Structure 1
Amino acid sequence: MLAGLLVVPVGLYAASRRADDDIERVGPHGSIDWTENTIYAIGLGAIPNNVSNDAVAYLKARDYAILDAMRNLLMAIHHVHIDAVTTGQEYMARDATIRAEVEGLLHHPRFISERRIREGRDSMVEVTMAAPLYGNGSVAEAFRSALVPQREGTSDNGDRGTLGTEAVPAPSTPLPSVRPQVDEDSTPYTSVIIDARGYRVQRDMSPKIYAADGTEVWGTVYADPNFVIEHGIVVYAHSIAQARQLPEAGSHPLILRAIGGSNSPVHADVVLSQADAERLARLNARDGFLDRFHVIFVVDPMD
């Protein structure tokens, strides 16, 4: 198992992290970084003091720390919101294929770093390991059947919770207004940016957009699974300015303001006014940005 580790240079890992990381903590030793789209886990192994050879003692502790990190990585995957209703753990419990895919993913985690630390009088080895949310050998690949459903069967609209804004109060501090855009603009829209700040919208891997009447506008995708696995379907930002800078935004994004979020267990879907929902559908029919997954949600930072 340990032979399958993918080593990532520590310097590259440190350089890639930014101050505005969007990190969801999972227990004391796991985290989901929604900026880097990566799950991280830390493992600890005590260096035995009853082994005469220091190198052997270190390697024993390192092996234990790797196993501990892999357990914590699995715990973090359990907590990933696959959709607005179901976590990774729940999908794994009811689908043997998904469970096997996740177990296979854990056989080849990314080894990020290791260091020797002190805990009182004892020495320990601390290792950091990671698994990507998207791409080859990713969480998305393991959960592909959940992220990209088959066309046959019924819609899952009925079990994602009721819609509306009553359970999520409007922001106490007014947010900057979004300047209205007129449909007469003949320039094709390159993406949609939905400002959902103030509604405590959470991140997940397959969020949806609803109209105020409960109609799903977008989110149940029947796309090339390989594309969804590689890129995901929604990108998150913390401000309109940040969203505009993302490559998915393009040069001419459509900017809309959400009126709330769905009252689902994970609370990850967004709700638009009826007028904006109809406008979004109409402009996408003209320009096709939803079909290219050029969708950005502006949400509140993690607590």
Structure 2
Amino acid sequence: MAALLAFPCSVLAFQGYVQSFGDGGTIAWGSGEVAVVRSLATDDGEEPAVTDPLAIRKAASQARKQMLDMILSVRIDAKRTVSAYISDDRELATRVRGVVQNSPFERPAVFEDRGEIRVAERLRGKLAELVLPTTIQFQSGIPPKLSTSMEQSMSFEDGLPEEAGVGARGYTGVIIDARGYKVTPALAPVIYGQDGEGAYGAFLVSRASAIAKGVAAYANTSAPEALRERVGDRPLSVRALSAYGSWRTDLIISSPMARLVRAVMRSGDAMENCRLVIVVDAPETAGVDVGVLQEGDMPFEEQ
């Protein structure tokens, strides 16, 4: 059941779900920041002086290599990763590597005890321009469709807080709670209704908005006050019914709620700022492997 939620103004900056990679690597799926923290320690474990340029250069090079590997492993959608997308385009791959190699880094202060450097880039702006495929039909208005309706294969859920297109004007964004489905974050996820029709995805937003904001953000909490920066003061709260595909990048919600989500996200501000957050399990939570629709069970068709 949906809820119209309101909360106070004071919130912390939105970082969203922070995914860890190896030693010191993280992706913040709210801000889109990809970061790696690397120690200046030498192979024998000794800490060099924090002003040692060779140690700093080596640590920065290692951190950027790790960051590139992280970016390449990111899923674009249910079908491909960044690595798969750029693998056949040498020029594009070179440009992506160039962005990473020139990413800003923070060196330790002269009087700082920790011998660490930090490199960071964002899955927004110039990097997003490169890794978001130009073949994606942004803002086409034509929703993708699943080949089979889910209304027969899972219990149909009805119930709508207000008539879609009328009550939709009262909502400033959407929160979709997908905890328990082991969702894999992606740059261009799709939200489907049980009727198999897309409710939200790249087909509703412009490429410019996706590059600047990300098609969707991810978080570990459904608390509206923590998500206000992304979804506004009065978000629509929706519970996912299932994850779709072996990579669990896409979600299924009830058909009535899908119609309302579509109406909310077609409004100017929500669409322009991609005001949708997907709530996923916290890193330490294993989740429950239920409700996952395998790709082999239901082929994906796009219009």
Q: TM-score, normalised by structure 2?
A: 0.69
Q: What pairs with 1:99-110 in structure 2 (closer than 5 Å)? A: 99-110=93-104
Q: Superposition RMSD on alpha carbons, in Å? A: 4.0
Tell me if the contact between 2:160 and 2:256 (Cα under 8 Å) persists in the aligned partners: no
Q: Distance in 2 between matches of 1:298 and 1:268?
A: 12
Secondary structure of residue in 1 paired with 2:70: helix
1:79 has 2:108 as partner:
no
Tell me if the contact between 1:82 and 1:206 (Cα under 8 Å) persists in the aligned partners: yes
Aligned to 1:173: none
Tell me if the contact between 2:182 and 2:281 (Cα under 8 Å) persists in the aligned partners: yes
Deviation, 1:273, is 1.5
Tell me if the contact between 2:178 and 2:240 (Cα under 8 Å) persists in the aligned partners: yes
Q: Distance in 1 between matches of 2:70 and 2:169?
A: 43
Aligned to 2:277: 296
1:68 has 2:62 as partner:
yes
1:251 has 2:241 as partner:
no
Aligned to 1:134: 124
- The amino acid that maps onto 2:275 is H
Q: Distance in 2 between matches of 1:215 and 1:269?
A: 12
Q: What pairs with 1:193-232 in structure 2 (closer than 5 Å)? A: 193-221=175-203, 223-232=205-214
Aligned to 2:301: none
Gaps of 5+ in 2: 1-11, 285-303
Tell me if the contact between 2:231 and 2:277 (Cα under 8 Å) persists in the aligned partners: yes
Aligned to 2:162: 182
Aligned to 1:39: 34
**Structure 1 residues 261-300: Cα deviation after superposition (integer angstroms, max 9, x where no partner):** 11232x1211012222233335556x45653322122222
Secondary structure of residue in 1 paired with 2:212: helix
Secondary structure of residue in 1 paired with 2:185: coil
1:273 has 2:258 as partner:
no
Q: TM-score, normalised by structure 1?
A: 0.69
Structure index of larger Rg? 1
Higher RCO structure, 1 or 2 (CA under 8 Å, sep 6+): 2
Once the two structures are overlaid, the 10-residue window that deviates more, 225-234 or 184-193, is 184-193
Deviation, 1:65, is 1.6
Deviation, 1:80, is 1.5
Secondary structure of residue in 2 paired with 1:131: strand
Tell me if the contact between 1:30 and 1:75 (Cα under 8 Å) persists in the aligned partners: no
Q: Distance in 1 between matches of 2:13 and 2:170?
A: 34
Tell me if the contact between 2:175 and 2:237 (Cα under 8 Å) persists in the aligned partners: yes
